[in-house]
Chain A
Amino acid sequence: MYRYDEFDHAFVHERVAQFREQVERRLLGKLTEDEFRPLRLRNGLYLQLHAYMLRIAIPYGVLSPRQLRQLAMIGRRWDRGYGHFTTRQNLQFNWVKLVDVPDILSALAEVEMHCIQTSGNCVRNVTADPFAGAANDEIEDPRPWCEILRQWSTLHPEFSWLPRKFKIAISGAVEDRAAIAFHDIGLKIVRGPDGKNGFRVFVGGGMGRTPYVGQEIRPFLAKEHLLSYIESILRVYNLHGRRDNLNKARIKILVNQLGIDKFREDVEADWEQTRKDAIDLPEDERRRIMSYFAPPDLPPRPIRDEGLDQRRITDPVFANWLKHNVRPHQVPGYVSVVISLKEPGRTPGDASSDQMDFAADLAERYSRNEARVNYTQNLILPHVARSDLVSVYEELKAEGLATGNYDLLGDMICCPGLDYCNLANARSIPIAKEIAKRFEDPARQELIGPLRLNMSGCINACGHHHSGNIGILGVDKKGTELYQISLGGSPKDDAAVGTIIGPGFRAEAVPQAIDTIISTYLANRNDGEDFLATWRRVGAAPFKEALYGAA
């Protein structure tokens, strides 16, 4: 993975020193809250419902054991012994004290981490396929490009005060596991006509109040032009994006208002003018960054493992975990393992400091010193030898981290909601827990098949409810929490925004409503169909009737 050079170290430490001084000035009264707020937000520090919350960037979801252990230490020493992995591959601590934050930032800097670009109207932490460098359907590792974008965008003078925040995601594989269609810019590495790889560029996707699926602005962009082309997109947005209305300030509104063709025309015109400038990355710098992401030395191993085959036959729970949480690797004899943070009864995406330490140990012993976070709020061991799977499983099981529900109903995305968040209108975590309880039986989840259930506690949609096959949105209706259900969303290559199915449900009625939806799907599905396929074939009518009675 990328390692800081002298410049990176100096830069991050300088930022910590700056913030330490800013906190001092705030406490001495030399800065008012209005003056201080934008400064703390630029360092990832929010004031939430109960306390300050610190959002830590995990660039493109990659963590070393050393970093995980430091996060665990921070959780123990300055928070309440746990953190929350977010839908942007970040980590949030929920209970930090303002006076401790400079020390926390110092501790992060020691392990090459920071909270820059986790807030504010800038280019945010770039996200990626969590199986990057490991997945067997990979065309090219997206991480070097994420790192290039990270370095280019950090404190970019022209793009630090955009009309609104700006999110970029990159996928380098056949299957999109980074939800690129729901980002301001989505990049998909594809093979070009001359056999060289490049980017298929999407723009204007997003969730929130006005959800849109990103539209293709360029079918193929040669890789060497990535920075100049993205700069042109950002420049057009920066010039023409609305600044008068917060709800209409994202690039998706501009793209849809102008239409993709006009937006493309403007971008291409800017690009023609500016690409002559030396914006694109020099080849030797590109090579330098690439070298940090050289694949680990994984000597091919046997694909079959007798112990594993035996266990699979005798232990159906293990077989279930193997089927869902173990993903194919590009090197024979290896796999990637999803550590589910979705055990029924637990808050989706939360991990205790002990669990972070434990995951760090596993990454060290079994996964070539690498761990990952995915946007669906799980941890991943990217490079595990197949012959170690039984041992890994046993260890995970002992820690309650071996729930075999990856990409099944139990693998819900869930935002912190009204239990923590100042913006939320309704709770989401207790609803997720109730649903998890109702669908606890692994056999039932297996029967249901792949299903993305996403839940947000407000319209800002941190819980990606728009892209859920089943989406739940909590709203406030005259002081009561009410939950709107939408169906048919998808975060993948067939990206779609879900359709609201009808009037909302009170909290206690939500699990039954989900049950009714699932039963309707099972009653209507044809052989081989998953939820989305059935929904697309039969439409809303049977679901509406089951939920609300005949019209």
Chain B
Amino acid sequence: MPNVVTANRLLDGIVVYLAADGSWTEDIGCARLAETEEETKALEAEAARAVAERLVVAVYPMAVALHDGAVDPLSVRERIRAAHRTTLTKDWYDVPL
């Protein structure tokens, strides 16, 4: 199963993923996939540099599945993080993101 690296942005805490171009994206669909252990290690090393540069905190790699090319974060927790919202739809404070 491929891995992506996720974190929270230092300035506002928003969930982000390390993207193919080396930037940090809020869209898990744009996250860079690491197919092997070595690729995952390389992603982690890049993320560690971003921590040192104070872009992100709380970095960790996580396994994902691919369904028709779409990234599935597997766990409820990671689905909620990737959605950037609570699961409480149709509510009075359901603020568009």
Query: In the complex the two chains form, what is the Cα distance from A33 to B52 in whole Å?
Result: 9
A197 within 8 A of B: no
Asked if B93 and A49 make an inter-chain contact with CB atoms under 8 angstroms apart, the answer reads no
Chain B residues with Cβ below 8 Å from A476 are 76-77
Query: In the complex the two chains form, what is the Cα distance from A320 to B64 in whole Å?
Result: 51
Asked if B91 and A347 make an inter-chain contact with CB atoms under 8 angstroms apart, the answer reads yes
Instruction: Give the nearest-CB partner of B51 in chain A.
Output: A33
Query: In the complex the two chains form, what is the Cα distance from A80 to B51 in whole Å?
Result: 27
Q: CB < 8 Å: which of B51, B76, B84 contacts A427?
A: B76
Asked if B92 and A346 make an inter-chain contact with CB atoms under 8 angstroms apart, the answer reads yes
Chain B residues with Cβ below 8 Å from A27 are 10-11, 54
Q: Select the residue from A49, A82, A346 with max chain B CB neighbours within 10 A.
A: A49
Asked if B77 and A418 make an inter-chain contact with CB atoms under 8 angstroms apart, the answer reads yes
B80 within 8 A of A: yes
Query: In the complex the two chains form, what is the Cα distance from A424 to B77 in whole Å?
Result: 9
Query: In the complex the two chains form, what is the Cα distance from A51 to B91 in whole Å?
Result: 20
> Nearest Cβ distance between residue B46 and chain A, in whole angstroms?
17
Q: CB < 8 Å: which of B10, B75, B85, B86 contacts A429?
A: B86
Asked if B13 and A98 make an inter-chain contact with CB atoms under 8 angstroms apart, the answer reads yes
B88 within 8 A of A: yes
Q: Mark A342-362, 1 if CB is under 8 A from B, else 0.
A: 000111001010000000000
A97 within 8 A of B: yes
Chain B residues with Cβ below 8 Å from A99 are 11-12
Chain A residues with Cβ below 8 Å from B1 are none
Asked if B80 and A51 make an inter-chain contact with CB atoms under 8 angstroms apart, the answer reads no
Q: CB < 8 Å: which of B15, B76, B84 contacts A418?
A: B76
Chain B interface, DSSP helix/strand/loop, else mixed: loop
Given contacts A48-B13, A50-B13, contact A419 B88 (CB under 8 A): yes
Chain A interface, DSSP helix/strand/loop, else mixed: mixed
Query: In the complex the two chains form, what is the Cα distance from A467 to B2 in whole Å?
Result: 43
Query: In the complex the two chains form, what is the Cα distance from A50 to B86 in whole Å?
Result: 9
Interface residues of B in 43-65 (CB under 8 A from A): 51, 54, 57-58
Asked if A49 and B92 make an inter-chain contact with CB atoms under 8 angstroms apart, the answer reads no
Query: In the complex the two chains form, what is the Cα distance from A29 to B57 in whole Å?
Result: 13
Query: In the complex the two chains form, what is the Cα distance from A420 to B93 in whole Å?
Result: 14
Asked if B12 and A98 make an inter-chain contact with CB atoms under 8 angstroms apart, the answer reads yes
Asked if A50 and B75 make an inter-chain contact with CB atoms under 8 angstroms apart, the answer reads no
Q: Mark B1-34, 1 if CB is under 8 A from A, else 0.
A: 0000000101111110000000000000000000
Asked if B93 and A82 make an inter-chain contact with CB atoms under 8 angstroms apart, the answer reads yes
Given contacts A418-B76, A419-B86, A419-B88, contact A50 B93 (CB under 8 A): no
Given contacts A50-B15, A50-B85, A98-B11, contact A346 B76 (CB under 8 A): no
Query: In the complex the two chains form, what is the Cα distance from A425 to B15 in whole Å?
Result: 18
How many of chain A's residues touch chain B, expressed as a range? 35 or more
Asked if A98 and B91 make an inter-chain contact with CB atoms under 8 angstroms apart, the answer reads no
Asked if B92 and A352 make an inter-chain contact with CB atoms under 8 angstroms apart, the answer reads yes
Q: CB < 8 Å: which of B12, B76, B95 contacts A51?
A: B12
Asked if B11 and A49 make an inter-chain contact with CB atoms under 8 angstroms apart, the answer reads no
Q: CB < 8 Å: which of A80, A350, A424 contacts B95?
A: A80
Query: In the complex the two chains form, what is the Cα distance from A97 to B12 in whole Å?
Result: 4
Query: In the complex the two chains form, what is the Cα distance from A366 to B22 in whole Å?
Result: 58
Chain B residues with Cβ below 8 Å from A426 are 76
Asked if B81 and A81 make an inter-chain contact with CB atoms under 8 angstroms apart, the answer reads no
Q: Select the residue from A51, A345, A426, A429 with max chain B CB neighbours within 10 A.
A: A51
Asked if B92 and A97 make an inter-chain contact with CB atoms under 8 angstroms apart, the answer reads no
Given contacts A50-B81, A420-B86, contact A479 B74 (CB under 8 A): yes
Q: Mark A465-490, 1 if CB is under 8 A from B, else 0.
A: 00000000000100111000000000
Q: Select the residue from B12, B15, B58 with max chain A CB neighbours within 10 A.
A: B12
Asked if B93 and A479 make an inter-chain contact with CB atoms under 8 angstroms apart, the answer reads no
Given contacts A49-B80, A50-B81, contact A97 B11 (CB under 8 A): yes
Asked if B88 and A347 make an inter-chain contact with CB atoms under 8 angstroms apart, the answer reads yes
Interface residues of A in 27-68 (CB under 8 A from B): 27, 29, 33, 47-52
Q: CB < 8 Å: which of B15, B85, B87 contacts A430?
A: B87
Asked if B95 and A81 make an inter-chain contact with CB atoms under 8 angstroms apart, the answer reads yes
Asked if A479 and B95 make an inter-chain contact with CB atoms under 8 angstroms apart, the answer reads no
Q: Select the residue from B12, B15, B88, B93 with max chain A CB neighbours within 10 A.
A: B93
Q: CB < 8 Å: which of A82, A97, A345 contacts B13?
A: A97
Instruction: Give the nearest-CB partner of B53 in chain A.
Output: A29
Given contacts A47-B57, A347-B88, A430-B88, contact A419 B13 (CB under 8 A): no
Chain A residues with Cβ below 8 Å from B85 are 50
Instruction: Give the nearest-CB partner of A94 in chain B.
Output: B86
Instruction: Give the nearest-CB partner of A28 in chain B.
Output: B54
Query: In the complex the two chains form, what is the Cα distance from A424 to B85 in whole Å?
Result: 15
Asked if A427 and B87 make an inter-chain contact with CB atoms under 8 angstroms apart, the answer reads yes
Instruction: Give the nearest-CB partner of A45 in chain B.
Output: B13
Chain A residues with Cβ below 8 Å from B76 are 418, 426-427, 476, 479-481
Query: In the complex the two chains form, what is the Cα distance from A433 to B13 in whole Å?
Result: 27
Name 18 A/B residue pairs within 8 A (Cβ), A-sorted. Answer: A26-B10, A26-B54, A47-B8, A49-B81, A50-B13, A51-B12, A52-B12, A80-B95, A81-B93, A82-B93, A97-B12, A97-B13, A98-B13, A418-B76, A418-B77, A418-B80, A479-B75, A479-B76
* Known contacts A419-B88, A433-B88, then 17 further A-B pairs from the complex at CB < 8 Å, ordered by chain A residue: A27-B54, A29-B54, A33-B10, A47-B13, A47-B57, A51-B8, A51-B12, A51-B14, A52-B13, A81-B95, A96-B13, A97-B12, A99-B11, A427-B87, A476-B77, A480-B76, A481-B76
Q: Which B residues have a C-beta under 8 Å from some C-beta of A?
A: 8, 10-15, 51, 54, 57-58, 74-77, 80-81, 84-88, 91-93, 95
Q: Which A residues have a C-beta under 8 Å from some C-beta of B?
A: 26-27, 29, 33, 47-52, 80-82, 96-99, 345-347, 350, 352, 418-420, 424, 426-427, 429-430, 433, 476, 479-481
Q: Closest 5 A-B residue pairs measured CB to CB?
A: A419-B86, A51-B13, A97-B12, A52-B13, A82-B93
